[in-house]
Structure 1
Amino acid sequence: MIHKISAEHLTIERIGEIVYNGYKLELSDDAKNRIIRCREYLDKKIAETTKPVYGVTTGFGSLCNVSVDADKLAQLQINLMMSHACGVGDRVPNDIVKMMMLLKIQSLSYGYSGSKLDTVQRLVDFFNNDVYPIVYMQGSLGASGDLVPLAHMSLPLVGLGEVEYKGKVMSGAEVLKIHGWEPIQLASKEGLALLNGTQNMSAFAVWSLLNAQKLSDWADKIAAMSLDAYYGLLSPFTKAVHVVRPHKGQLDTAAHMLELLQGSEIADKPKDYVQDPYSFRCIPQVHGTTKDTIAYVKSVIDTEINSATDNPTVCPDEDLIISAGNFHGEPIAQPMDFLAIGLSELANISERRIYKLISGTRGLPSFLVAKPGLNSGFMIAQYTAASVVSLNKSLATPSSVDSIPSSQGQEDHVSMGANAAIKLYKIVLNVERVLAIELFNAAQALEFRRPLKSSPAVEAIFEKYRKVVPFIVNDEVMYPHIQHSIEFLRNNE
């Protein structure tokens, strides 16, 4: 399967399809022409002008006033890449690295960056042959673009740095030799075109949004199972309640809950109480707000991934080369912080439902085991969920409110968007863990309602889940069941 790189709109869902379904990339004729035209224009301007052009004939950052001789412009780009590869911490996962490469290729293909065609094509070669540059999570300030991670991504193009290829870590020089590729000879401005830009932040954001949408759907499904297992009421999901406060996410969640629980014998059973705790009663308001947050952040990231974000911006049609600030991560740093908060709330309310299920109320046994006392049952699974939720509260503290000046004060306000991206990534994984623990509890609790059945939709999830996670009769080692629950969410829609 082939995806042609072009100026046509690239969606977040399409990125997921390309990366996870084994698509190969191909530069369209239009993309090639845009790249070539911009490079030819840039070469012509360099030859004609005597004025310094930032990052093309000058140094970088606070060295912007230091001119570089014409015969050293190629070395300037190599030096940029080597000096900026200062990453530390954990490796960026390969699927996110692949998204970074795709987004960088897309951005360069618009023809506003000045890259040579062979440089962009080599990135395509890396993508198509599953060559994953080794990139580290920490180091980007999210301001002059993602300088540090993109430096690590780009080093192997010139035979430096490291990659993972066929499960083995090797040098950039080794992987070039295996494929018979010559190291790319960078021309003026190319190092800056590769290193400037928001593709690291954007790749994390795309990955997080793809998972957030799935987890939001799972949150509703699991909450429906928990509600029935808790003998909860359906009345709070009545449409008439929500049309008088018509937030889209709230309306959609209420409708989804009623759809999920349609035909439930448990829901139809008369109840002698009129209210449920907020963690059940306010599912539309809480889950719905997260849905609205996801939709907003998605709209912002959608714009970002269809943009040219390096510096300077080369505009052949306007005969302009302008040093400005399209690399600055602020437009996506704040939304990523917002998404982190929204997703944290899915875990927060989920943990409260877990607590209610093990609390020994509504006819359920304490800690969801038939012989509590001898057995601790699900007591400590709730501890784990509480621990993860507490950590999320720290991780959800916004990164985008911070700024530490860099480059001798020339870069005096930064977005810290890469830190927002890292924290968002961790929160996504944590939300998945908490929801998996809720499903573990909800399925256990539902069995204590037999012979009554939940809805066909909930029972279908339950039946599938029971193929990988059993009912717990007496205490046993729990962590494998939690891990299998996480994998169940990951591998099923």
Structure 2
Amino acid sequence: MTMIVMTPGQVSLADWRAIYHGAQATLDPGSAGAIAKSAATVEAILARGDAVYGINTGFGKLASVRIAAADLAALQRNIVLSHAAGTGDPSPAPVVRLMMTLKLASLAQGASGMRPETIALLEAMLAHDVIPVVPCQGSVGASGDLAPLAHMTAPLIGVGEVWLKGERMAVAEAFARIGLKPLELGPKEGLALLNGTQFSTANALAGLFAAERALQSALVTGALSTEAAKGSDTPFDPRIHALRRHVGQIETAAALRCLMTASAIRASHLEDDLRVQDPYCLRCQPQVMGACLDLLRQAAATLEAEANGVSDNPLIFTDTGEALSGGNFHAEPVAFAADMIAIALCEIGSISERRLAMLVDPALSGLPAFLTPHPGLNSGFMIPQVTAAALVSENKGLAHPASVDSIPTSANQEDHVSMAAHGARRLHAMAANVEAVIALEWLAAAQGIEFHRPLRSSDTLEAAHALLRGAVPALDEDRHFAPDIEAACALVRSGALVAAVASLPGVA
């Protein structure tokens, strides 16, 4: 298994992607010095007797309440127990693993006051695949993802449930099996673990990676649809896109040209095209998909910065011995990034569905009605297009910006919040919808090019066609459609479609 050694604050987007997909991560041993200095600074602050938020005071609206030295351990335990108030289904284990790793990398930067032994336990849980059960609802994205991170933290003190190598159990049982022991949190540690944007960021990164795969998949199915409809590749001419200067547009046009290179289907109608201009869903693919790519890259830059940042509060500055209270836990940047990803997902699915609708319409595609050799007796792809339309419409509602909403919390102490958590979490459902739409287009486009046999498309697109036909036969007569759709969805979701073709533009 791949092992990524993380230098806190300098982890690449590619590494975060690999961690989300299962790579192990460990801290660079060089981070030990900063961790030890930060813990020592907290001890020095306590020794001075200063009142410092979250170290020897209450939390939120109760920040003015001074906590006695004898109660500091109870204070940190109580914040974890009281804040573990999430609800809803458990978050996907890969998202929680990523959240834990993001938190580990943040704490290890030496600005959070964490002791080495606490960081070591979090790192050991990751190494042994002990993943806390974290309800997916309960965060408003400031003051950090409090409830989800409390559920993530509770197992460190022996409370709650975890997944151990995929089996759900009490944390006490899991720790007993692998030889770990819970610990008592030191001053500030509970707050440092609960404050931060790691839940929102993990979900947003997962959405970004799914959106990137969807965009790349849709470039392939879009090229296949262009072939099936005997569309023109002239709109992908580099001179057109150079004049507009958008990088994403230039790159997606190049990808579409590459996908269609040396196609006999395209060559067959170069001289006798009767259609002067293709529908926008074919002709404007670079403009739409390129804009989506640019948007995803902007979101990626924001999320990479956030993933490498420190977002708890207060922050410890070892050079001056200070603890400064601020608002890095406010997840507005993540909320904006999630909204951008949602918009891109919505448009990737929308133009894909329009290509599918075009293919089933004989007036537009020149193909048999609903892509069946015997229309009337057979309905062919009539209802799959309806399904795609339903999914696209659902995504339109889900794409409404979450970041424009706010609701005061904590007795108006936290009076403006980002809503980044559910803004990022909805990306899972949106990506699944888009994957299904792309899978439906793939089924239709593969069916469409078969009406042009014995002519063949490019080698690249024929590879994509063969991949699908290895799982789903051509539709000669109506049959139970759902298994075909699920098989195609699985190939899109797994990344197999993208892997079957040449390199495609991505977010990083």
TM range (shorter): over 0.9
- Listed as ranges, the matches of 1:426-465 within 5 Å are 426-465=429-468
User: How far did residue 363 of structure 1 move?
Assistant: 2.6
Q: 1:399 maps to what in 2?
A: 402
SS in 1 for 2:362: coil
Q: 1:467 maps to what in 2?
A: 470
User: How far did residue 97 of structure 1 move?
Assistant: 0.7
- Listed as ranges, the matches of 1:57-456 within 5 Å are 57-268=56-267, 269=269, 270-361=272-363, 362-456=365-459
Preserved contact between residue 250 and residue 284 of structure 1 (Cα < 8 Å): yes
SS in 2 for 1:318: coil
Q: Partner amino acid for 2:29?
A: D
**Residues 297 and 489 (structure 1 numbering): CA distance in 2 closer, same or farther, change over 3 Å?**
same
SS in 1 for 2:143: coil
Q: Partner amino acid for 1:7?
A: P
Q: Map Cα deviations across residues 221-240 of structure 1 (whole Å, 9 max, x no partner).
A: 11000000011111111112
Preserved contact between residue 404 and residue 414 of structure 1 (Cα < 8 Å): yes
C-alpha distance in structure 1 between counterparts of 2:374 and 2:3, whole Å: 58
Q: Partner amino acid for 1:475?
A: D
User: How far did residue 413 of structure 1 move?
Assistant: 0.3
User: How far did residue 19 of structure 1 move?
Assistant: 4.2
SS in 1 for 2:319: helix
Is 1:38–2:41 an aligned residue pair? no
SS in 1 for 2:26: strand
Preserved contact between residue 12 and residue 206 of structure 1 (Cα < 8 Å): no
Q: Map Cα deviations across residues 40-74 of structure 1 (whole Å, 9 max, x no partner).
A: 1111111113x321111111111111111111111
Preserved contact between residue 238 and residue 254 of structure 1 (Cα < 8 Å): yes
- What is the root-mean-square deviation of aligned Cα atoms in Å? 1.2
C-alpha distance in structure 2 between counterparts of 1:76 and 1:310, whole Å: 17
Preserved contact between residue 9 and residue 109 of structure 2 (Cα < 8 Å): no
Q: 1:18 maps to what in 2?
A: 19
Q: Partner amino acid for 1:257?
A: L
Q: 1:5 maps to what in 2?
A: 6
Q: Map Cα deviations across residues 358-384 of structure 1 (whole Å, 9 max, x no partner).
A: 112333111111111111111111111
SS in 2 for 1:327: coil
Preserved contact between residue 155 and residue 172 of structure 1 (Cα < 8 Å): no
C-alpha distance in structure 1 between counterparts of 2:20 and 2:248, whole Å: 29
Q: Partner amino acid for 1:318?
A: T
User: How far did residue 218 of structure 1 move?
Assistant: 1.1
User: How far did residue 8 of structure 1 move?
Assistant: 5.6
Preserved contact between residue 158 and residue 172 of structure 1 (Cα < 8 Å): no
User: How far did residue 179 of structure 1 move?
Assistant: 2.0
Where in structure 2 are there 5+ consecutive unaligned residues? 500-508
Q: 2:506 maps to what in 1?
A: none
SS in 2 for 1:408: coil
Q: Which moved more, 1:178-187 or 1:77-86?
A: 178-187
C-alpha distance in structure 2 between counterparts of 1:340 and 1:18, whole Å: 22
C-alpha distance in structure 1 between counterparts of 2:143 and 2:224, whole Å: 47
SS in 2 for 1:170: strand
C-alpha distance in structure 1 between counterparts of 2:252 and 2:289, whole Å: 7
Q: Partner amino acid for 2:401?
A: P
Q: Partner amino acid for 2:146?
A: L
C-alpha distance in structure 2 between counterparts of 1:294 and 1:369, whole Å: 37
SS in 2 for 1:439: helix
C-alpha distance in structure 2 between counterparts of 1:329 and 1:341, whole Å: 19
Preserved contact between residue 128 and residue 178 of structure 2 (Cα < 8 Å): no
Where in structure 1 are there 5+ consecutive unaligned residues? none
Q: Partner amino acid for 1:32?
A: A
User: How far did residue 5 of structure 1 move?
Assistant: 3.1
Moved >6 Å (runs of 4+): none
User: How far did residue 208 of structure 1 move?
Assistant: 1.7
C-alpha distance in structure 2 between counterparts of 1:195 and 1:100, whole Å: 12
C-alpha distance in structure 2 between counterparts of 1:8 and 1:53, whole Å: 26
Q: Partner amino acid for 1:147?
A: L
C-alpha distance in structure 2 between counterparts of 1:455 and 1:291, whole Å: 24
